[in-house]
Amino acid sequence: MRRRASLVLLALAVFCAALSPLLRWYAFPRLAKVPAHRYQAVVLEAKDATLIDYATLEPRRVPRLTMIQTLKGNVEQAREVKKTTGRDVVVWDTLTYAAGPDGRMVTRIPERYVFDAHSQQPVHAAGEHVDGTPVRRDGIEYKWPFLVEKRDYRYFDMTTRTSAPIHYKGTRTFHGLGVYYFEQTIPWTKVPLPRQLPLGITPDTVRQLGLERWYTTRRMFWVDPVTGAPVNGEEIHHEEMRWTGKPEKKPITAFAGRVRMRADHVADTVALVKSQRQLVLLLTSYLPWGLLLLGCALLAVALVLEARDRRAPATDVAHDGGKPGRPTPG
């Protein structure tokens, strides 16, 4: 009976030991993915900022600039892209809406971002754009891959519509969460004007005035290394209107300020990430290590039962007081 039990335990031990790496290296890359239907809205603010007044073409100080960034998963478009590419993709339609202290629009920039649901690498498909202009992304945007590595990544900049390295700068503690800190600096670069500007002004109107838009920023992200989701983001952002062909003329500051996530949105994001990271850890750590330890324990019990079963006949003979089958002389 003990021998049969030890064989059953041995089989279970082998099963658990085999399932452990399968969960981590086979199941996890296929099961962990960004949901296609995700919706998110984040509010960012730049307090005591400088903003251009297009009526006078003069910069003015404003107490607050508010940026509302909405992200909506386009499920139908994701299905269409999957039909053509054969890949499990996510399509995000985003909108970055900036408003001045009076609530009036400053800029409104739509964007479509298509990426692999598992690896977060961009997938090039029809409809990929920034502000209506087709783009071909190289590198991540908005979200890092699951299980972030301590290294630099290529990050897409929506304003320049190009990608550049975003550098890993070390580990931080943010709202009780261990995160990786990344920084990216975009040097002064000539960039397109937004298609929608206040007061009915168009990019052609600005160009006819002999002005062009230049931009630089220092971008900072605090990223959860398990889910790859940023829990906080900031930018030290500068924009200028420079006179075309007239470097001697003083540029006009179009925007200058430090853009931060609003405190309530930071708290909500941290709470959401803390709950989601447990699901990732379940597949990458808790279950694989738990199964491995369980397999070792089952193997140990099976070996103990087998050893006892082998010792049992010798013990029985010793208790008989002689060899079995031979009568004791009287």
Q: What is the pLDDT of residue 2?
A: 58
Mean pLDDT for the stretch of residues 131-144: 94
pLDDT of residue 209: 92
Distance CA 230, CA 275 (A): 14
Whether residue 98 lies inside any domain: the answer is yes
Tell me the mean pLDDT in the region 212-241: 97
Query: What are the tens digits of pLDDT across the range 187-216?
Result: 999 999 999 998 888 999 999 999 999 999
In the listed set 261, 292, 324, which residue is the last one of a domain according to the structure? Answer: 261
Q: Give residue 7's pLDDT band: very low, low, confident or very high (50, 70, 90).
A: confident
**Nearest residue to 18 (alpha-carbon basis) of 8, 30, 10, 7:** 10
CB 220 within 8 A of CB 183: yes
Res. 131: pLDDT tops 60: yes
Residue 328 located in a structural domain: no
d(CA 252, CA 74): 39
* pLDDT at 319 > cutoff 80: no
Query: Hey, which of 74-78, 293-297, 301-305 has the most confident mean pLDDT?
Result: 74-78
Please state the rounded mean pLDDT for residues 277-296: 89
Domain boundary among 227, 261, 295: 261
**The pLDDT of residue 132 is above 90:** yes
Do residue 235 and residue 299 come from a single domain?
no
Confidence at 30, pLDDT banded by 50, 70, 90: confident
Strands 230-243 and 211-223: antiparallel
Q: What domain count does the chain have?
A: 2
Q: Are residues 17 and 37 in the same domain?
A: no
What pLDDT was estimated at residue 326? 52
Do residues 228 and 146 both lie within one domain?
Answer: yes
Convert the pLDDT of each residue in 106-119 to its tens digit: 999 999 999 999 99
Give the pLDDT band of residue 304 (cuts 50, 70, 90). Answer: confident
Q: Is residue 274 part of a domain?
A: no
Instruction: Judge if 111 and 255 occupy the same domain.
Output: yes
| Across 72-76, 78-82, 231-235, 309-313, least confident range | 309-313
Clarify whether residues 95 and 240 are in a common domain. yes
In 3D space, the residue among 82, 193, 184 whose CA is nearest the CA of residue 139 turns out to be 184
* pLDDT attached to residue 176: 92
Same domain for 3 and 80? no
Same structural domain for residues 19 and 72?
no
Q: State CA 325 to chain mean position distance.
A: 76
Distance from C-alpha of 251 to C-alpha of 257, rounded to nearest angstrom: 17
Asked if residue 41 lies in contact with residue 70, where contact means CB atoms within 8 angstroms, the answer is: yes
Answer whether residue 117 is part of any domain: yes
155 located within any domain? yes
Residue 325 falls inside a structural domain = no
**What average pLDDT does the segment 129-133 reach?**
95
Whether residues 13 and 145 share a domain: the answer is: no
Q: Could you give the percent of the chain with pLDDT greater than 90?
A: 68
- Tell me, yes or no, whether 90 and 201 share the same domain: yes
Q: What is the predicted pLDDT for the residue at 312?
A: 63
Answer yes or no: is 318 within a domain.
no
Residues 167 and 44 in one domain: yes
Q: 81 and 100 share a domain? A: yes
Average pLDDT over all residues of the chain: 90
Look at residue 113 and tell me if it is in a domain.
Answer: yes
Domain that holds residue 22: 1-31+280-311
Sheet containing 129-130: order of strands: 133-134, 129-130, 105-116, 89-99, 58-73, 39-53, 252-261, 230-243, 211-223, 177-191, 162-174, 153-157
pTM value surpassing 0.75: yes
For residue 81, pLDDT over 70 is answered with yes
**pLDDT band at residue 330 using 50, 70 and 90 as cut-offs:** very low
**pLDDT at site 182:** 98
Q: What is the structure's pLDDT at 153?
A: 97
Average pLDDT over residues 125-143: 94
pLDDT at 307 over 80: no
- Whether residues 298 and 182 share a domain: the answer is no
